[in-house]
């Protein structure tokens, strides 16, 4: 794997690296970690990479690696730059024969997303998107239960994602994360809704297998001077008459990273919280059952994503690593000319397109008070 | 106190009676417990009432009690009938000089509510409404914290009230509660939104002191054949630019009575769950503090509504009893020609008017897809 | 009911009164609320009692009430004085034909307890002891599950009761509760172990139906100058080879009233916490089920002690009221010459004897380092 | 790093490997993964090791690696075999100049432990023991709070470790883990107490900085035919008059891996649960504060062991990885002739000696009913 972005002072770069190596299926062999050649070099050194595999631009990396013999050159690139720098390297990597795994939201805008989807299709290469929350075993279990009809036909979905870290004007406090995330040029048209609203949207669609058909959004920017939304409340209508609510926030003071989902059907309900990810609550009018990794009979889907015995908590890195490992399995299958095993799923370029479409739809809806419902069009 | 409604097989009648007597300030002296004279008599007997204080109609009770000497006759009536039978006895009782405490929603429709408000004003008598969830000590504490600016100017309010008890077609299962609650003639224009949506609305306005100005609602009826909504999702806009979400449901399978509220301001946030009512979470970006009854310094408002030392859980009856006791204090003050102490507050006829206005507004909004926002007009 | 003790400034008196009236089966008709005639009078007045039913000594109350006609005179006495004042009024009440319900620990010492048991037996009157924690519906459910073999033969019991309210030298801070509870003359030979250790012991024996056969205790007094133990750790051996741990503390800083019990058998385990009393966790290696009042099928034993629908929390007063109501049922049955229904059980004089024997045994064990195990002898 | 033990079907081998690589400070370069040469080869292959670095015995590995040039040969060995196979390779590795990190309990018996301590001292090499639970950031925080006197002088420590996985006779169900853990020849003199009791003992001493001085134990074997204890309850006396309770179990049916610790001092208390490792509860009589990673001001000790922002759960692997990373830092410091930074601490050979002494003491105490207290002698 070659990494684009993720210098030592970036948060998400190290997350991807740790996730990549956890299962001993992936090795970091090269990278361009920063626009600053100096920073990139330092990072490469700290990562024990040889100097000649630390590059100064993604173009250089892709072209130089391509010249290396197979088996030695990187097999895929991992893109962990700010959003505006996802599309160019992804496109170039794919066009030069490298598989790609990329942070979310997938691109800066919907057009790029659609273009990328086309390139992926044309090249036939493997593309993965790190909607990492779908990598949790209990999320797999939840999806499996819905698929198997344990909840009956669905009726209602509530997904919420409050954070509080942008409650103040952090972008003027020299806080790197805050600066780019609130900058439309680097983050895209949405702030909170792009960063975490898309996670919520993806999680809801992933677990339920249902697509949002229309929505009604009310986005806000509470912190004076901020350029993008920092809070949003959305009514959802899914296919099949299923109703829903999605709300996300980065000004919910005192909240950490509190992604939660509640799914209700004719026969039962489910509840899952990202901050206690190893507990899935399954509720019916007859009572509540606590579902936990490696306690009793987990689904095959969950089992394939658990590494430890009951009561040994796996967390954020392990869920992230599940995305990477599954992506690696697909790359391997591709190399060997096999179909990848669908048990080891991971978010696709189509998920990425839906994420960008979600961003466009909530913004359009929020701006328009003249009608209640805005169609979700990819 | 004389009770109207609440025969032995009714749930809420006994709740009111237990709440009334808990603090030894109120005594049940008479009642008309059912439209069936037989049932009423049986109930009176079970409650150790003398036969001559058990009546066959509310009209009879009001008129006969009025003739009894002061000190012997009931001081107020407690109305615990289905919604359509709130207004007539309330009106007659007030017009005959009796204070009234009444279950919610206050009346069958907004017009009745406004009429009742006028009667209350004209008579100058005490009127209480049992939005019982505002009686919890930690709700008082939350309100006090907001009032004292501990959260800073508010930004966002999320209030949710999922239940699952109407997930199936219970109204055709000879389930008394389900039958009248889903019958427009007895319940009013809304089902779920009238029964519990109004509690959520009242709680949000009570704690924050803010009024909803406009809203956008999506009500549903999921159970085939049901006449009223059994689920609703609402975007809220409060005065002062504060945003919110309210969702309530009676088809959230496996949920018991899960009223929760989250309030976020510039300086901090609060979280409270009705099912664990003795815990109030106060959160800032610096950390979370657990506020509990009689642990450390509670506010005067909370202290006035706690009966037990730390760790001795008070619950639903005690919160309900706080409404009754405070109402009784106000009745006493009225009798003695004093102002009632505002520390011992309870929901008023104006809260009742807002509840009915809320019902009308969410229904109007839900029916109209041609605009996003519907003004909340009392 | 006539009450002995429980003036306005005493905590437990009002608890008993509220518990007594909650179900409309018991009425307070007289009392002697304090050794001070003045205080007693004030309390009676606040409780709306007629002056001539407020007495100045328990002897006077018992004798004067006895002279009143049946139906008018009190049916039983409720004793809520400090421990040293339990035995004398209990004895006299029984000997004069009054049933008795009494706070715990039952008497000042084991000899009094045994004497009282004999008097109860001789008089054939009803005696109840307010080990109130056994009144919780989920405790009834737990006991029912054990009885029905759902856990299989038991193996291990852990019961813990940490409080923190005596972490400091509160008995010298003019804190009435602290003063008498740490005074051997009024509290008896044990402090923490008498006040709350006996609750833990009673709860463990109640749920499991097993008796402690021997134990090994390590009691401590951490606060300098304190006369009685404020903390204790005990290894338990129950009949049938079941092992256990009991620890109780009043210096566990920051703990409120955190009584918890864990019971493990060959087939499954149970967990219950007093501070979240409406949740019973039932665990097996196949998973965990949450048992809640009125959710699904509760046992008949639990159902008989629940007043509200699912999700409406009942708490300390309601559990306490279950003891009172069941005692009242037994009194009624006695009056009517019937056997009381064992579904409506309550702690007995024999439970009280075991409580005092427990106190004696832990003290004896704690003082003697020369052997590990001390027999539990009543 | 070269690994001894940990073939593909062993649980703990992969844990060590994942923990080792997570922070990109350690690389697996060789190993002998099983007594079976075939299995060892297969494991090495699956781990992408070159054939010539996969050995057939630890002796071979140590001698052959020693001959490799520095920089190429392994820097240290990681020992993940059953307990009886800890001492021989540890001894040989140290005597041949390799640092050692080893699973716990450190050796088969106390004599080996003392011998190993002596060898470590003589060689001056780095030795680490994977009492992994001390690697959690909130455990570091807890220790830091105790050290800084935030709890005041300590009074009471409760540590409990219930598991349920050996509730049945799993050792006769062809369950590999169960077989060796219940076999005295491979596990040592204790079963439950060796496997998890030592973790509890280590955690209590780590957080509080206090040593157990004497104890009173009651060990049990509940499953018929089992050779070692599967449950134990222990009264503890720490230095300075601090009292405690430790109980551990592998027959607590339905428990997963529920290590918990409660520490109380004159000024406050702490509570930590391994299964929700990112929450530390800090309690005083004034209220409870929730301490979480990267929320507000964590201690330097905690911060040095956190990788993610608030609300992104780190779990078992990350805590384990903290032990490995800190050990690696110490190895690096040793290589560079520096003192290791004490901020990056990890369990030592002395911790291992105490663990074996704990095992011996609880067994001695449990066997002897003639006295209450048994001295804890290393």
What are the tens digits of pLDDT across the range C165-180?
Answer: 999 999 988 888 899 9
Residues of chain D numbered 30-69 and touching chain C (CB < 8 Å): none
Residue B321: inside a domain, yes or no?
no
Judge: C218–D269 Cβ closer than 8 Å, yes or no.
Answer: no
B151 neighbourhood in chain A, CB within 8 Å: 253
Contacts across the A-C interface (CB distance below 8 Å): 34
Query: Would you call C290 an interface residue with chain B, using a CB distance cutoff of 8 Å?
Result: no
Cβ atoms of residues D193 and D248 within 8 Å: yes
Residues D78 and D176 reside in one and the same domain: no
Interhelix angle C349-367/C110-123, rounded to 10 degrees, is: 160
Neighbour subunits, A (≥3 Cβ pairs < 8 A): B, C, D
Residues A248 and A112 reside in one and the same domain: no
Residues D90 and D218 reside in one and the same domain: no
Judge: A283–B255 Cβ closer than 8 Å, yes or no.
Answer: yes
C18: nearest CA partner in chain B: B22
What pLDDT is attached to residue D174? 83
Q: Write out pLDDT tens, residues D300-347.
A: 999 999 999 999 999 999 999 999 999 999 999 999 999 999 999 999
What pLDDT is attached to residue B125? 98
**Residue A176 pLDDT level (bands cut at 50, 70, 90):** confident
Contacts across the C-D interface (CB distance below 8 Å): 140
Cβ atoms of residues C307 and B316 within 8 Å: no
What pLDDT is attached to residue D77? 98
What pLDDT is attached to residue A10? 80
Judge: C289–A286 Cβ closer than 8 Å, yes or no.
Answer: no
Shortest Cα distance, chain D CAs vs residue B158, angstroms: 20
Question: For residue A341, what are the β-bridge partners?
Answer: none
pLDDT reading at B173 higher than 90: no
B274, B276, B316 ranked by CB distance to C314: nearest: B316
d(CA C102, CA C76): 11
Judge: C253–D284 Cβ closer than 8 Å, yes or no.
Answer: yes
Cβ atoms of residues A321 and A102 within 8 Å: no
pLDDT reading at D11 higher than 90: no
Cβ atoms of residues D150 and D292 within 8 Å: no
Judge: B48–C24 Cβ closer than 8 Å, yes or no.
Answer: yes
What pLDDT is attached to residue B177? 87
Residues B178 and B73 reside in one and the same domain: no
What pLDDT is attached to residue C175? 87
Shortest Cα distance, chain A CAs vs residue B359, angstroms: 18
Which of A264, A258, A195, A204 lies closest to A236 in space, CA to CA? A204
Q: Write out pLDDT tens, residues D67-111.
A: 999 889 999 999 999 999 999 999 999 999 999 999 999 999 999
What pLDDT is attached to residue B35? 92
pLDDT reading at B112 higher than 90: yes
d(CA A218, CA B246): 13
Residue C373: inside a domain, yes or no?
no
Query: Would you call C167 an interface residue with chain D, using a CB distance cutoff of 8 Å?
Result: yes
Judge: A255–D309 Cβ closer than 8 Å, yes or no.
Answer: no
pLDDT reading at B16 higher than 90: yes
| Mutation target vs B (from A238, A257, A264; most B CBs, 10 A cutoff) | A264
Residues A292 and A222 reside in one and the same domain: yes
What pLDDT is attached to residue D9? 81
Query: Would you call A286 an interface residue with chain C, using a CB distance cutoff of 8 Å?
Result: yes
Residues D118 and D44 reside in one and the same domain: yes
| Mutation target vs C (from D222, D233, D374; most C CBs, 10 A cutoff) | D233
Residues 6+ apart with CB under 8 A from A218: A232, A233, A234, A366, B216, B235, B237, B243
Question: For residue A280, what are the β-bridge partners?
Answer: A272, A291
Residue C319: inside a domain, yes or no?
no
| Total count of domains within chain C | 2
What pLDDT is attached to residue D322? 98
| Proportion of chain A above pLDDT 90, given as a percent | 96
Residue B374: inside a domain, yes or no?
no
A312: nearest CA partner in chain D: D316
CATH classification at residue D55:
3.40.50.720
Question: What one-character DSSP code corresponds to residue A195?
Answer: I
Judge: D288–B289 Cβ closer than 8 Å, yes or no.
Answer: yes
Residue B253: inside a domain, yes or no?
yes
pLDDT reading at D173 higher than 90: no
Shortest Cα distance, chain D CAs vs residue A18, angstroms: 5
| DSSP letters for A77-97 | EEE-S-GGGTHHHHHHHHHTT
| Mutation target vs A (from C287, C289, C291; most A CBs, 10 A cutoff) | C287
What pLDDT is attached to residue B176? 86
CATH classification at residue A274:
3.30.360.10
Tokens linked to C165: 């309210």
**Residue D176 pLDDT level (bands cut at 50, 70, 90):** confident
Residue B322: inside a domain, yes or no?
no
B246 neighbourhood in chain A, CB within 8 Å: none
Cβ atoms of residues C129 and C349 within 8 Å: yes
What pLDDT is attached to residue C176? 86
Mean pLDDT of A318-338: 98
Query: Would you call A360 an interface residue with chain D, using a CB distance cutoff of 8 Å?
Result: no
pLDDT reading at A174 higher than 90: no
D235, D283, D372 ranked by CB distance to C254: nearest: D283
Q: How many Cα neighbours within 13 Å face the side chain of A203?
A: 33
D269: nearest CA partner in chain C: C253
C285 neighbourhood in chain A, CB within 8 Å: 295-296
Residues A195 and A274 reside in one and the same domain: yes
Query: Would you call C173 an interface residue with chain B, using a CB distance cutoff of 8 Å?
Result: no
B292 neighbourhood in chain D, CB within 8 Å: 287-288
Which of A263, A236, A233 lies closest to A249 in space, CA to CA? A233
Q: Write out pLDDT tens, residues A270-305.
A: 999 999 999 999 999 999 999 999 999 999 999 999
Work out whether the CA dihedral C184, C187, C190, C191 comes out positive or negative.
negative
Average pLDDT, chain C: 97
Domain span at D39: 2-129+334-347
- Predicted complex ipTM: 0.96
Tokens linked to D108: 């088969």
Residues B114 and B12 reside in one and the same domain: yes
Query: Would you call D146 an interface residue with chain A, using a CB distance cutoff of 8 Å?
Result: no
Residues C169 and C288 reside in one and the same domain: yes
Residue B323: inside a domain, yes or no?
no
Shortest Cα distance, chain D CAs vs residue B280, angstroms: 11
**Residue B313 pLDDT level (bands cut at 50, 70, 90):** very high
Residue D322: inside a domain, yes or no?
no
Residues B270 and B147 reside in one and the same domain: yes
Residues A169 and A24 reside in one and the same domain: no
Judge: B315–C310 Cβ closer than 8 Å, yes or no.
Answer: no
Q: CA B310 → CA A255, B303, C274, distances in Å?
A: 27, 12, 12
d(CA D102, CA D91): 11
C277, C292, C318 ranked by CB distance to B256: nearest: C292
d(CA C71, CA C90): 21
Residues A257 and A157 reside in one and the same domain: yes
Q: Write out pLDDT tens, residues D224-239.
A: 999 999 999 999 999 9
Cβ atoms of residues D308 and D6 within 8 Å: no
Query: Would you call B286 an interface residue with chain D, using a CB distance cutoff of 8 Å?
Result: yes
Which of A81-95, C311-325, D162-176, D305-319 shows the lowest mean pLDDT across its residues?
Answer: D162-176
pLDDT reading at C319 higher than 90: yes
Element (H, E) at B257: none
């Amino acid at each position: 794997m070659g990494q684009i972005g993720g210098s030592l002072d970036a948060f998400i770069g190290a997350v991807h690296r740790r996730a990549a190596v956890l299962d001993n299926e992936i090795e970091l062999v090269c990278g361009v970690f920063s626009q600053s050649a100096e920073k990139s070099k330092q990072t490469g050194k700290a990562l024990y990479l040889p100097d000649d595999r630390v590059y100064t631009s993604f173009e250089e990396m892709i072209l130089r690696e391509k010249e290396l013999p197979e088996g030695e050159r990187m097999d895929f690139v991992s893109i962990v730059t700010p959003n505006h720098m996802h599309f160019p390297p992804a496109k170039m990597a794919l066009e030069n024969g490298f598989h790609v795994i990329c942070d979310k939201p997938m691109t800066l805008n919907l057009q790029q997303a659609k273009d990328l989807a086309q390139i992926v299709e044309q090249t036939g290469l493997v593309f993965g998107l790190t909607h990492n929350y779908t990598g949790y075993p209990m999320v797999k279990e939840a999806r499996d239960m819905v698929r198997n009809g344990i909840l009956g036909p669905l009726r209602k979905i509530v997904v919420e994602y409050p954070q509080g870290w942008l409650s103040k004007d952090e972008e003027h406090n020299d806080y790197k994360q805050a600066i780019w995330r609130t900058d439309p040029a680097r983050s895209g048209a949405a702030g909170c809704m792009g960063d975490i609203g898309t996670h919520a949207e993806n999680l809801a669609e992933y677990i339920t297998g249902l697509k949002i058909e229309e929505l009604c959004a009310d986005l806000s920017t509470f912190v004076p001077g901020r350029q993008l939304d920092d809070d949003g409340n959305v009514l959802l209508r899914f296919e099949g008459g299923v109703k829903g609510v999605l709300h996300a926030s980065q000004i919910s003071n005192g909240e950490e990273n509190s992604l939660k989902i509640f799914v209700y059907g004719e026969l039962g309900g489910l509840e899952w919280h990202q901050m206690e990810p190893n507990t899935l609550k399954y509720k019916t009018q007859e009572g509540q059952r606590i579902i936990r990794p490696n306690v009793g009979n987990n689904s095959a889907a969950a089992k394939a994503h658990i590494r430890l015995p009951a009561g040994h908590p796996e967390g954020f890195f392990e869920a992230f690593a599940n995305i990477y490992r599954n992506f690696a399995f697909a790359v391997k299958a591709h190399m060997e000319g096999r179909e990848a095993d669908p048990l080891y799923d991971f978010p696709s370029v189509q998920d990425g397109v839906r994420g960008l479409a979600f961003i466009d739809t909530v913004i359009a809806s929020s701006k328009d008070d003249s009608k209640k419902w805005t169609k979700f069009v990819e």
